[in-house]
């Protein structure tokens, strides 16, 4: 498979005037639904590192096309957001399939390494503030540039999530309660913006010097942007470090200070809680979607099967937030 993929990459890069032998092609541990490959192109006197991100065709109802992800990265990069440079984009009908090639960015994406390894200790100090700043910059993009993205109000997103949950015929008393609770919440009156949709450890590249790049735009859409702030505060993305509300590494105040230093709209902590519950519910529904791909026979994957038993993580997080003073 690697040999064949290497040939496809080589041809694609030739069309971008990058001519060289493909070496060290290896799969990386990526998301549950995309293939990620790292490789190098051997040029005359050096080699350049690249990443191939490739759709599997079974991404589920919330995901956008991989080639559209590339388009977003190109656009926000022009605005100064930290994203890898896109080198080449392939559509579904091309031999390489729905995918893109981007420059490799040095750093780490694996959450547990970033949270555990001594070399990132200093970077973590300021990371929540940096994330806040970066999220705010993304939210400043002109949404006219993203007419190809789904655009949803909070109310529409909520009812979409609820409808999706009901498709799986696995009634959850906690999700029913959550949906009723969410319908009553204030999510902030703010202009629609580009929402990353999955901003958290795992989807950002961190080095010893801090935040380097924002990747994995598969859940991007246009809507109320405060969603990105609540998402990274969900316990699902703290990787066991419950006490550090922001991504397992930072405090909410620092995230909001970073955000408010860039954004005209000033966010207060109260609104984040509603978004935390929203995000946790959303992650629960995404777990259902992923598991259903295995259950309905689209793909036989132990990874996807296992994720079905992570729905209970979101339920206990929600009851903790709603009834037990959790944060």
Partner 1 sequence: MIFDKPDSVELLNAVNHFLNEKIKDEVPPHLAFKLRIVENVLNIVSREIALGEKLSNDVIKDLRELIETDTANIKDLALLIKEEKLDLQNEDLKKLLVKLSKNKITIDNPNYSTLKKLVD
176 binds partner 1 (CB under 8 A): yes
Task: Name the DSSP class of 189.
Answer: -
Min separation Cβ 174 and partner 1, Å: 5
Residue reference for tokens 């100064």: 80
Q: 308 vs 111, 235, 313, CA distance in Å?
A: 21, 17, 10
306 binds partner 1 (CB under 8 A): yes
Residue numbers 121-150 binding partner 1 by CB under 8 A = none
Residue numbers 149-168 binding partner 1 by CB under 8 A = none
Quick one: which of 44, 173, 296, 297 contacts partner 1 (CB under 8 A)?
173
312 binds partner 1 (CB under 8 A): yes
Residues 19-38: x/- map of binding to partner 1 (CB under 8 A)?
--------xxx---------
2 binds partner 1 (CB under 8 A): no
* Residue from 33, 38, 148, 52 nearest 97 by CA: 52
181: tokens are: 């609770």
Min separation Cβ 240 and partner 1, Å: 5
Residue 71 or 290 with smaller CB distance to partner 1: 290
316 binds partner 1 (CB under 8 A): yes
Min separation Cβ 263 and partner 1, Å: 30
Quick one: which of 145, 192, 257, 320 contacts partner 1 (CB under 8 A)?
320
Residue 181 or 265 with smaller CB distance to partner 1: 181
Do 90 and 98 meet the contact criterion of CB atoms below 8 Å apart?
A: yes
Do 34 and 66 meet the contact criterion of CB atoms below 8 Å apart?
A: yes
172 binds partner 1 (CB under 8 A): yes
* Residue from 46, 53, 45, 41 nearest 13 by CA: 41
Measure the CA–CA gap between 20 and 47, rounded to whole angstroms: 9
Min separation Cβ 275 and partner 1, Å: 18
Residue 171 or 297 with smaller CB distance to partner 1: 171
Quick one: which of 34, 200, 221, 238 contacts partner 1 (CB under 8 A)?
238
Residue 73 or 290 with smaller CB distance to partner 1: 290
- Burial of residue 100 (CB within 10 Å: 0-12, 13-18, 19+) is buried
Cα-based angle 219, 124, 229 (whole degrees, multiple of 5): 35
57 binds partner 1 (CB under 8 A): no
Residue reference for tokens 């109310």: 155
Measure the CA–CA gap between 224 and 122, rounded to whole angstroms: 32
Contacts of 271 (CB under 8 A, 6+ apart): 186, 187, 188, 226
Measure the CA–CA gap between 210 and 206, rounded to whole angstroms: 5
Q: What are phi and psi of 151, to 5 degrees?
A: -120, 125
> With CB under 8 A as the contact rule, which of the stretches 68-76, 82-90, 98-106, 299-307 interacts with partner 1?
299-307
73 binds partner 1 (CB under 8 A): no
Residue reference for tokens 């950002």: 204
Min separation Cβ 33 and partner 1, Å: 14
Do 91 and 98 meet the contact criterion of CB atoms below 8 Å apart?
A: yes
303 binds partner 1 (CB under 8 A): yes
Task: Catalog residues that contact partner 1 under the rule CB under 8 A.
Answer: 27-29, 171-177, 180-181, 235, 238, 240-242, 302-303, 305-306, 309-310, 312-313, 315-320, 322-324, 326
């Amino acid at each position: 498979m690697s040999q064949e993929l290497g040939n496809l990459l080589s041809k694609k890069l030739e069309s971008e005037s990058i001519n060289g032998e493909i070496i060290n092609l290896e799969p990386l541990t990526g998301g549950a639904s995309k293939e990620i490959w790292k490789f190098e192109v051997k040029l005359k006197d050096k080699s350049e590192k690249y990443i191939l991100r490739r759709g599997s065709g079974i991404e589920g109802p919330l995901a956008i096309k991989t080639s559209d992800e590339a388009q977003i990265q190109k656009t926000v990069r022009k605005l100064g957001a930290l994203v890898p440079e896109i080198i080449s984009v392939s559509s579904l009908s091309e031999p390489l399939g729905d995918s893109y090639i981007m420059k490799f960015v040095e750093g780490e994406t694996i959450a547990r390494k970033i949270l555990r390894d001594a070399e990132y200790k200093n970077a973590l100090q300021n990371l929540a503030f940096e994330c806040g700043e970066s999220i705010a910059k993304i939210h400043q993009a002109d949404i006219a540039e993203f007419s190809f993205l789904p655009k949803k109000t909070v109310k529409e997103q909520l009812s979409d999530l609820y409808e999706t949950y009901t498709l799986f015929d696995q009634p959850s008393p906690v999700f029913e309660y959550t949906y009723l609770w969410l319908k009553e919440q204030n999510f902030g009156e703010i202009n629609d913006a580009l929402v990353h949709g999955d901003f958290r450890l795992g989807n950002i590249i961190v080095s010893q010097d801090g935040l380097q790049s924002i990747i994995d735009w598969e859940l991007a859409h246009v809507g109320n942007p405060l969603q990105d702030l609540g998402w990274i505060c969900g316990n699902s993305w703290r990787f066991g470090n419950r006490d550090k509300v922001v991504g397992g590494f930072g405090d909410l105040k620092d995230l909001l200070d970073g955000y408010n230093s860039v954004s005209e709209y000033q966010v207060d902590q109260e609104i984040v809680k509603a978004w935390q519950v929203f995000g946790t519910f959303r992650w629960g529904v995404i777990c259902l979607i992923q598991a259903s791909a295995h259950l309905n026979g689209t793909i036989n994957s132990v990874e996807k099967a296992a994720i079905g038993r992570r729905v209970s993580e979101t339920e206990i997080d929600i009851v903790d937030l709603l009834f037990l003073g959790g944060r």
